[in-house]
Amino acid sequence: MSWFILYLIITQQIISPSFTPSQIQAQPTNLPTTPSLRGSELIGVEAPIISEEYILMPGDNLLITIKGKVNYSYSSWVTYEGKIQIMIKSNLLEKLETVDVIRISGLTIKEAQDSLTKVFLKYYKDISVKLTLIGLRSGVVLVMGEVYYPGTYYAMPVERVSQIIAKAGGITPNGSKINIKLIREKETLGVDIEKFENEGDITANPFVQSGDKIYVPPITNSIQIKGAIFGRGEYRLRASVTTVERERTSEGRYEIRDNERIKDVLKRAGGVTPWADLDNAYIEREIPNASSIKIPINLRKLLLENDLSYNLELKNGDIIYIPEIEDNIYVNGEVVNPQAIKFQNNLTISQYIAMAGGYTKYADSKKVYIIRKGKKITPFKNFELMPGDIIYVPRIPLKFWEDYLQIISSLFPIVLTILYTAK
């Protein structure tokens, strides 16, 4: 009798149709592989999947649970035809056998659950059916254009365009981040990864579907921003590895949208630094068949007072210069060590000169003057220095006999050379 039972078990295993993950998810070896989708392994998703919204497609793996007069569960993959197995308990050792397959592709999890319930009620009474998504399908997406490794990549329905582009090596320096195209059957969607990264706008970075094509075009319009701005990405200001010092200026190329203006671009570029000179920024713009022009922009009025008359529309190739606020005092002329010294309140001219090593023997200490924004100023009592001032120590004018002595001493080597050559 035991041999007969063993024979039935073996034959039941052989003739029972089944669908394994390896059969459903067989992938070409020339494409990047995806993580395993077995029921015991889950991939990360950014939010719980809602049964009333998620659309089932071939490759999804479901746990089907029957409760009531009979209680059992089994997992089944949605086949390439979009169908799923209906399995019931056989009378023999309560083994499960496939009695039917039904189409559920294109239905939500909730709709598929209702359809399965109607089918199982043909075999059992007083039961309920519950569907649980335990494995996600893997589709194929083509990535083209300005990426490092164009090609075809496997993608899951919880992955966004930016994640698939990352699989393709990322966007090249010449590739656009704001004008990406997602081509889906007869529909083309715009993708703006920069907006997604900077503002968290998930609508600018949609989920992908099997059969999608992602095209990353080259940049068509861009500007440069130089100076006291925090920057973004590879252009951001960085702290020193060994000290607490930071870079004070950055320089970078930024892609611009059609008709984009200064205020929006500065925000996207990280914003101006606290040490930016808001009163003296300007745009350098090339004019066809002419030299470049400088266009002053008062960022103080634009950013702090919201005076939109300074919110100019940008053109391809513009360069925005944002100078730093000057915070040094410069000591030049007849001092031992001419240099720039960090501005400090309440320090006098004499103290700054002392910090530069003091006067040389040729210094005219009584005729020291200040250069401020290109203008010469004679200091007076209680004169207050300002950042950017230049303290200039002139040389004493030579006396009559000193003039001749200096001339003779400079000519003496030349005379010796002539006499030596004449011999």
Residues 23 and 131 in one domain: yes
Any idea what the CATH number is for the domain that residue 146 is in? 3.10.560.10
Q: Quick one: average pLDDT of 410-421?
A: 66
**Pair 115, 35 in one domain:** yes
Is 72 in contact with 96 (CB distance < 8 Å)? yes
What does R_g of the chain's alpha carbons equal in angstroms?
39
Pick from 322, 356, 372: which residue ends a domain? 322
- Is residue 26 domain-shared with residue 125, that is, in the same domain? yes
Give CA–CA dist 310/187, Å, rounded: 39
Q: Is the pLDDT of residue 377 over 90?
A: yes
Domain membership flag for residue 92 = yes
Structurally, how many domains does the chain consist of? 4
What mean pLDDT comes out for the span 23-48?
A: 50
Q: Residues with Cβ < 8 Å from 21, sequence gap 6 or more?
A: 37, 38, 61, 77, 135
Same domain, 25 and 84: yes
Q: Does residue 311 sit within a domain? A: yes
Question: Domain range spanning residue 122?
Answer: 19-135
Domain-located, residue 41:
yes
Is residue 272 in some structural domain? yes
The mean pLDDT value of the chain amounts to 85
Mean pLDDT for the stretch of residues 73-78: 95
Please indicate, yes or no, if residue 13 is contained in any of the structural domains: no
Q: Is residue 10 part of a domain?
A: no
Shared-domain flag, residues 311 and 333? no
Residue at a domain's end among 109, 135, 161: 135
Together in a domain, 50 and 127? yes
Report the CATH number that the domain containing residue 263 is assigned in CATH.
3.10.560
**Contacts by 373-378, CB closer than 8 A, 24 or more apart:** none
Confidence tier at 247 by pLDDT (50, 70, 90): confident
pLDDT at 11: 42
Structure confidence at residue 89 as a pLDDT band (50, 70, 90): confident
Same domain, 37 and 143: no
C-alpha torsion 86→91→95→96, nearest 10: 0
Does residue 267 sit in the same domain as residue 236?
Answer: yes
Residue 112: burial class (beta carbons within 10 Å; 0-12, 13-18, 19+):
buried
Q: Which residue has the higher pLDDT, 321 or 232?
A: 321
- State the pLDDT at residue 4: 42
Nearest 5°: the CA angle 313, 319, 321 is 105
Q: Are residues 363 and 316 in the same domain?
A: no
- For the stretch 314-348, what's the b/e string if a residue is b when 16 or more beta carbons lie within 10 angstroms of its beta carbon? beeebbbbbbeebeebbbebbbeeeeebebeeeee
Kindly state whether residues 124 and 204 are assigned to the same domain. Answer: no
Residue 2, in any domain of the structure: no
Q: Binning pLDDT at 50, 70 and 90, where does residue 14 land?
A: very low
Domain boundary among 150, 185, 216: 216
Average pLDDT over residues 125-149: 95
Whole-number pLDDT of residue 248: 84
- 178 plus 272 within the same structural domain: no
121: left (phi over 0), alpha (psi -120 to 50) or beta: alpha
Sheet containing strand 390-393, strands side by side: 339-342, 328-333, 390-393, 369-372, 375-377
Instruction: State the Cα–Cα distance between residues 341 and 45, nearest whole angstrom.
Output: 55
- State the pLDDT at residue 310: 93
pLDDT exceeds cutoff 50 at 29? no
- pTM for the model stands at 0.67
Domain assignment present for 5? no
Residue identified by tokens 């060590």 is 337
Instruction: Report pLDDT for 289.
Output: 80
With contact defined as beta carbons under 8 Å apart, do 93 and 148 qualify? no
User: In this structure, are 26 and 124 located in the same domain?
Assistant: yes
**CA 106 to chain centroid:** 35
pLDDT at 23: 34
